Amino acid sequence: MERDASRVVVALQSDATTLDPHSAADAGSMRMIENLYSTLFRYTENYGEVEPDVVREMERSEEGTVYTFFLREDVRFHSGRRMTAEDVKWSLERIREEGIRAQQFEAVESMEVVDAHTLRVTLSEPYTPFLTALAHPMNAILDREAVEAAGDRFDQAAAGSGPFRLAEWRRGQRIRLEAFEDYFLEGLPKLREIEFRPVPDATSANTALRNGEIDVILDLNPREINRLASAAGITVRSVPGTFWEYIGLNTQVAPLEDVRVRQAIAHAVDREALARMIKFGHAEPIRGGHIPETHPAHWLEAVYPERDVEKARALLAEAGITETLELSCLVGSDFDYQVNAAQVIKQQLLDIDIDVTVESLESGVFFSRLGAHDFEMTVVGWLGFVDADEWTYDLFHSEGAYNQQGFSHAEVDRLLEGGRREADEARRMALYREAQEIIAREAPMVFLYWNDRAAAYAEGLKGFDVHPTLTTLSLRAAYWTE
């Protein structure tokens, strides 16, 4: 098939559920949205670093509570209107109102529009991850006028200022983005068009890439890595990733509110077998804390060094579980590797007389059930992103936005709150290591493995970066060689 050198077709595992960055929580939505919008800061190619995006210059007070952002004056929204400090202020306020990532802005005490392109933000106390929060692709700056005019049809609005603008969205089929000619970075984007297609079946995506029907598989299935690595005309690249998977346990329902039952499940799971069977060796089992070795907050001790069925049985007996325990486990049907993992876990837990019923649900229903705490067990994953706070607070603080397990621990809350205030890097990382130890032992999640971040793409595609966070922002610099 002859390739159109002005466009790229990207396969994703699932379609977007929304194109509103301030309410998006699923990976399918994020991968498309980040190409439509700009943020104050952005991730660099070096994992852990951020740099200015629409910010031209920044001043920070000595005590770390007052930030003055001087904005670029050449940033236009897709509507053609110039971005102003009023748009930034309104967008940050909207993030807080939407609630999904509001906790990242809890320390914001006031915002003052100094002039058309200067915004001063005052925090009630130092908040160390603040710039990283501003670089999160979903903490985007929106065109206030376009959002208000679109109303309920905001998903179709030209409300961004990113390198691409929305051309078409056929739900379940494709999202087509076209180059924004007035993008503020000169010479970008290089492509005329990007098309995202949901292709949940890995074999179908593999075949489509080989046939030239698609150009990029963004989330490469571990089974396909070796198959595609030897395929002619295809490049496979893998880097240590930030996507980790776990068994979520609802700590608010019996008998999972008993830490001994949760620990029993954690001891009974064979992580090595799962990584071998489900990930074909392209994942690293998690035996202790969930922040990986590539991060300075990594905690070394192994709480679950190997599978221990006898210890698991003893913990269940100690908890008063004397008969077969029946539990249900929810998984998203779009993620076959998690469905398969749940089936293997079901077999492993039978060895300690826990009978698990696996229920596979469409993604929208699945994530809705998790958000409503309407589950007992689940197998799912999470993107760690950049800062240690992003690996921990929203998931394990009592008031965390994604604390779907209903986990509450006063000492963990104290440590995570301290991590947000501590300016000294060494002391800050120590707080997160201490929190991880408690979390691992309390087992609101049974950590399984960290995944490699792998993508496959047609040879000749240049400028596309395989980033640990799964971000697709590099597509703005992608282009085809002859």
Kindly report, residue by residue over 331-378, the tens digit of the pLDDT.
999 888 899 999 999 999 999 999 999 999 998 899 999 999 999 999
Per-residue pLDDT tens for 16-35? Answer: 888 999 988 888 899 889 99
Residue 118 phi/psi, 5-degree rounding, is -135, 130
pLDDT at 265 over 90: yes
- Closest by Cα among 123, 107, 112 to 88: 112
Average pLDDT over residues 202-231: 90
> Which of 97-101, 193-197, 320-324 is least confident?
97-101
Average pLDDT over residues 306-317: 97
pLDDT band at 43 (very low <50, low <70, confident <90, very high): confident
Q: What is the pLDDT of residue 226?
A: 82
Query: Are 140 and 91 a contacting pair, CB within 8 Å?
Result: yes
pLDDT band at 220 (very low <50, low <70, confident <90, very high): confident
- The CATH number of 241-452, from 3.40.50.620, 3.10.105.10, 3.30.70.920, 1.10.357.10, is 3.10.105.10
* Residue 295 or 397, more confident: 397
Q: What is the pLDDT of residue 379?
A: 98
Take residue 45 and report the two structure tokens written for it.
Answer: 């190619």
Return the amino acid letter for 325.
Answer: L
Q: Bridge partners of 328? A: 357
Residue 198 three-state SS: strand
% of the chain at pLDDT higher than 70: 99
pLDDT band at 467 (very low <50, low <70, confident <90, very high): confident
Q: Where are the domains of the chain?
A: 7-19+162-233+459-480, 41-146, 241-452
Q: Which stretch of DSSP H or E encloses residue 207? A: helix 202-211
pLDDT band at 196 (very low <50, low <70, confident <90, very high): very high
Average pLDDT over residues 149-153: 83
> Which of 221-225, 294-298, 413-417, 459-463 is least confident?
221-225
Q: Compute the half-sphere exposure of residue 393: CA atoms within 13 Å on the CB side of its CA.
A: 25
* Residue 421 or 445, more confident: 445
Write the class of the CATH domain 7-19+162-233+459-480: alpha beta
Query: Are 301 and 437 a contacting pair, CB within 8 Å?
Result: yes
Q: What is the pLDDT of residue 1?
A: 59
pLDDT band at 416 (very low <50, low <70, confident <90, very high): very high
pTM for the full predicted model:
0.78
Within 180-233, strands assigned E span 193-198, 216-217
Residue 316 phi/psi, 5-degree rounding, is -65, -40
Tell me how far apart the alpha carbons of residues 462 and 481 are, in angstroms, rounded to a whole number: 7
Q: What is the pLDDT of residue 14?
A: 85
Give 263-316 as a DSSP string: HHHHHH--HHHHHHHHHTT-EEE-SS-SS-TTSTT-----SS-S--HHHHHHHH
Q: How many residues does the chain have?
A: 482
% of the chain at pLDDT higher than 90: 76
pLDDT at 319 over 70: yes
Packing angle between helix 410-421 and helix 388-396, nearest 10 degrees? 150
Tell me how far apart the alpha carbons of residues 288 and 302 are, in angstroms, rounded to a whole number: 4
* Residue 43 or 143, more confident: 143
- What is the Rg, in whole angstroms, of the alpha carbon atoms belonging to the chain? 23
Q: What is the pLDDT of residue 475?
A: 95
41-146: CATH number: 3.90.76.10
